[in-house]
Amino acid sequence: MDLKHSRSVKLNDGHFMPVLAFGTLASDDVPKSKAAEATKMAIDVGFRHIDAAYVYQNEKEVGQAIRDKIADGTVKREDIFYTTKLWATFLRPELVRPALERSLKNLQLDYVDLFIIHIPTAMKPGEDLMPMDASGKLIFDTVDLRETWEALEKCKDAGLTKSIGVSNFNHKLLEMILNKPGLKYKPVCNQVECHPYLNQSKLLEFCKSKDIVLVAYSALGSQRDANWMEKDSPILLEDRILNAIAKKHGRNPGQVALRYQVQRGVVVLAKSFNEKRIKENFQIFDFELTPEDMKAIDGLNRNFRFIKLLFFADHPNFPLRDEY
């Protein structure tokens, strides 16, 4: 296997996606400059897949970091796999390309490697990323996601993105796209919450059967952001079994949780702005979990979500009503 792709998975459109990605989402209290610093550190330690999004509001900084690392000779543009996401206020077909062009302008890049629908719950278009009514309820929009998908296909044809995919879709929403008359390109991936407490085995099996890569976010639990998760959520990295397996391999529980995903064919995001942890999170290619380890970690599944997406629960496309 050629070395360049030995840590990558081949997508259904022929492109390659590195199996370990650096996540750039930060909570509101983190200064934007930290995203640039952390992205540079991540590239320096070996990360080549950068996972970002318009709604994270830091693409200027992340783009600057990538361009700095290209300018100093650390990487070439084609070494980097950059993902951005189409936010829910831009799901109307006519808003899709302008949204991607806005990300590209912020990044000052000519193309992204992957453009995905961030969440299937369309919201009222406009500059407000979380449009709410007077009573504090989100204002939803009605959009046929198959038309949104056609607009993503056009972005791929125009060379603005190499690949297109989805995020936070359940199997029914995926089937709606896959069964669309005149489908030109299948989604290459579905990015969802996935970790030992929510191992998504049914959705993973479904995605594998359709040659769609599952990409795991919140793979280490989650940044305990009170806006998105409950304070009394369990702490994944304190799990007794994960820690026992980590100790056996001379690793930390985070490395075990990341390695677990890679070994089951899942692309995994690792999010940290701490230099020591960024380094540790990349060190998952020089050890292997045994079949017994994998089985023990599978046994931790309790279908527990850190990110319940309850803001969107009343939307007809709310993806978490179904089992998978």
**What number of residues does the chain have?**
324
Backbone angles phi, psi at 37, to 5 degrees: -60, -50
CA–CA separation, 259 and 264 (whole Å): 9
CA–CA separation, 197 and 164 (whole Å): 28
Running DSSP on this structure, what letter comes out for residue 85?
E
Helix, strand, or coil (residue 113): strand
Could you tell me which residues are annotated as the binding site for substrate? 118
CA–CA separation, 287 and 92 (whole Å): 45
The dihedral over CA atoms of 92, 98, 99, 100, expressed in degrees to the nearest 10, equals 120
Sign of CA dihedral 42, 168, 190, 55: negative
Which among 56, 82, 197, 217 is annotated as catalytic? 56
CA–CA separation, 150 and 128 (whole Å): 24
Q: Is 56 a catalytic residue?
A: yes
Buried b vs exposed e over 72-102: b needs ≥16 C-beta within 10 Å?
A: eeeeeeeebbbbbbbbbbbbbbebbbebbee
Which token pair is 280? 């540790």
Position 167, amino acid: S
Helix, strand, or coil (residue 297): helix
> Which DSSP helix (H) or strand (E) runs through 48?
none
Active-site amino acid positions: 56
